[in-house]
A and B are shown apart, each in its own frame.
Chain A
């Protein structure tokens, strides 16, 4: 079974109304590799996945996976979803409600080879820990279990490529975190390449080997997830990516990889990037911002900005603190840290940011 191949996509599709999808990329899909399609809702990421599955038609373009052409509008070639040999997991998992878990998993295996594939189905069931549920109906099992059944069903036909539409978004946070790790392990173990649609940064970082970023139906950036997270190529990417603090600034000097940037009359030290324009956007992610009290603390952070706490908002187990240091900057800290520092709205605090955590985007 050849599970290596390049996924080449160059398609456009117009929809009634204003939306159109216009995407071109090529991604090497090795065994177990995951290509993340990241974007806000309405960016066209699900539509792209449905085009790959053959469930959505394309106005114009080409889709190729490895040696196989799935769609070529000029040659009037369109391979149906039945013939693409893919494993598709839609957002709500879409388990067949009238069939048991085992029957769901076996659904796509032709009757003639079902007996021969028995061992493989048993292996899938044990890899995904579904032994106890084989005879249950999908209506009676938990969300996390449904996700596993849908994954097993998609894998049962030994697909060349898995297509996962927000596989974790229907789950509660703790289940989500554990299944995320489990999903990565399963994909590596079974060595199936996958395209995964998500709007969650943690999914992207944990699962993705490569990512493409979509917004408004077009591709904004293409590369390893960490690069896009820490080095967005444009302001749109930075805001889609969810960088909390984005400020216009001016680079005034560059030395040994560190740039001096002036923002609202304040001086910041940032990791320098090689682009000619000195007008920049300064991007700071809240998890890279620390809070200190007084100015006596020794720290490796190059930037220390005194300011006043403007707001404190709970963000799950963490707390999002906005500090006015001349401009507004957000910090994501633990509750314990906040209590230790005895911070409240109106308190004075010093914001600490490492130079390498300040990312410059050309303006």
Chain B
């Protein structure tokens, strides 16, 4: 077992999840409550990583980060090293790649909060921001936790984007899934099988946790209890 790769993966997933918590809450609440007529366009952008091949996403992120793009140039000037093939670059790519997994459950649970409750809170003199933290967030707790858990697990298992943006640098950007790929290339099936089993068990545990959290609201309409 390559513990260094496991550690890199966990570090990447934690950083990604933390950033998605901070970015995801305002974005998800905007998506849930905005009445803007072009909102569906932004919804589609957020959902893109669900259907786009990771290599395509990785390619664009790589190009955008590269020293020839204004963004990449600006970052390199500021920090002193370029984003691609660094851990920070990997975090940026992972945040984009896991965005729908965090934002969609959050957003739908925010939208599910009874509108009457929100309005009563306003009439009681509580501002919109305070209403979000005192009423909407506690009511939508399960959706937020689900989003974060899914984002964490999804980041842990990503492969294509990591390979495109991070490369395969031992201790920096070599994650578990890339390590498994390397083992198979080396025909070391025993090691690949051990790491794969760990990922499988972990993924199953995470999903079981998510479904347990949502056992009364139901992620799938057909599974909803009456």
Interface residues of A (CB under 8 A from B): 53-55, 80-88, 90, 92, 94, 96-98, 107-108, 110, 153-154, 157, 163
Contacts and interface: CB of A to CB of B under 8 A. Distances in A.
Given A54-B123, A88-B120, 8 more contacts: A53-B119, A55-B119, A82-B123, A83-B125, A84-B123, A92-B116, A107-B124, A163-B123
A85 B117 contact: no
A157 B116 contact: no
A174 to B, nearest CB: 26
Given A97-B139, A98-B138, A157 B125 contact: yes
A224 to B, nearest CB: 29
Interface residues of B, number: 16
Contacts of A94: 114, 116-117, 119-120
Given A81-B119, A90-B116, A90-B119, A98 B124 contact: no
A55 B123 contact: yes
A45 B207 CA distance: 48
A351 B123 CA distance: 52
Contact of A85 (B122, B125, B126, B139): B125
Interface of B: 114, 116-117, 119-127, 134-135, 138-139
A24 to B, nearest CB: 24
B117 to A, nearest CB: 5
B126 A87 contact: no
A107 B117 CA distance: 12
A82 B119 contact: no
16 contacts: A54-B123, A55-B122, A81-B119, A81-B123, A82-B125, A90-B116, A92-B116, A94-B114, A94-B119, A94-B120, A98-B138, A107-B124, A107-B126, A107-B134, A108-B125, A157-B125
B139 A98 contact: yes
Of the listed residues B121, B122, B123, B138, the one surrounded by the most CB atoms of chain A closer than 10 A to its CB is: B123
Nearest to B117: A94
B122 A107 contact: no
Nearest to A50: B119
A82 B139 contact: no
Contacts of A82: 122-123, 125-127
B126 A96 contact: no
A53 B120 CA distance: 10
Of the listed residues A84, A96, A153, A157, the one surrounded by the most CB atoms of chain B closer than 10 A to its CB is: A96
Nearest to A53: B123
Contacts of B116: 90, 92, 94
A79 to B, nearest CB: 12
A53 B119 CA distance: 9
Of the listed residues B119, B120, B125, B138, the one surrounded by the most CB atoms of chain A closer than 10 A to its CB is: B120
Contact of A81 (B114, B117, B122, B139): B122
A98 B134 CA distance: 10
A28 B221 CA distance: 52
B25 to A, nearest CB: 18
Nearest to A91: B116
A92 to B, nearest CB: 6
Given A94-B116, A94-B117, A87 B139 contact: no
Nearest to B131: A82
A55 B127 CA distance: 13
Nearest to B135: A96
A258 B74 CA distance: 95
Contacts of A92: 116
B124 A153 contact: yes
B115 to A, nearest CB: 9
A87 B125 CA distance: 10
Contacts of A157: 124-125
B119 A108 contact: no
Contact of A90 (B120, B125, B138, B139): B120
A63 to B, nearest CB: 15
A87 B122 CA distance: 10
Contacts of A54: 122-123
Of the listed residues B121, B122, B124, the one surrounded by the most CB atoms of chain A closer than 10 A to its CB is: B124
Nearest to B118: A94
Contacts of A97: 139
Nearest to A107: B124
Nearest to A87: B123
